[in-house]
Amino acid sequence: MDVFMPWYAVSTRSRHEYKANTGLLQKSITTFLPEIEVWSKRKDRKKKISVPLFPGYLFVETPFLDNEKKVSILQTFGVVRILGKKENAEPLAVPDSKIEAIQRLLNKKVEVFSLQYPQVGEPAKIVDGPFAGIEGTVIASNAAKELFVISIELLQRSVAIKLEGFQITKI
């Protein structure tokens, strides 16, 4: 008889996914930290590095999540909280089918991107195209179509530029 081992999503401090993962593994808690390879631009070269697919998150698998196990997870360096419906609500299990789908996706040799689109009103930087390097504020977006309009203050005038998702990043 198989023991049901639900997965839970865990939120981590910014850029602490690997430290939290290591701490949880040291406590004999099974983890899953999905990673993708991306090109990192250095001053003199480009290099492929592994980064979390979901920045700020990882998954833990445990047969039961009693208070003792919750405290053990939450006291791990880098862990912020176990995700649930509300801030202090009972943690929600992530369906096995979702974890398996992520694993299948990562096992295929296809390029996967993790995108964090800026929201309306947030500062953004243009990273591709003739306006690369210019910063502004997002004034309209349609993330489903990956289209954004960014306002740039130029000589006390606002100039709106229509951009595609790959051309813009949050700052």
How many angstroms separate the Cα of 132 from the Cα of each of 30, 118, 145, 166?
42, 16, 21, 11
CB 96 within 8 A of CB 4: no
Identify the CA nearest to 31 among candidates 73, 89, 70, 64.
Answer: 73
CB 53 within 8 A of CB 35: yes
Are 48 and 97 found together in one domain? yes
Are 144 and 99 found together in one domain? no
Are 46 and 88 found together in one domain? yes
Are 27 and 101 found together in one domain? yes
The answer to whether residue 112 sits within a structural domain is no
Domain that holds residue 150: 123-170
pLDDT in tens, 27-43: 999 999 999 887 777 77
- Say how far residue 64 (Cα) sits from the centre of its chain: 26
pLDDT in tens, 54-74: 889 999 999 888 889 999 999
More confident residue, 128 or 73: 73
100 φ/ψ angles, rounded to the nearest 5 degrees? -65, -35
Q: What is the count of structural domains for the chain?
A: 2
CA distance 55 to 57: 6
Are 150 and 77 found together in one domain? no
Are 100 and 144 found together in one domain? no
pLDDT in tens, 78-122: 999 998 877 667 888 888 888 988 888 888 766 665 556 677 788
Containing 69, the helix (H) or strand (E) segment is: helix 67-74
How many angstroms separate the Cα of 16 from the Cα of each of 19, 32, 106, 157?
5, 14, 21, 40
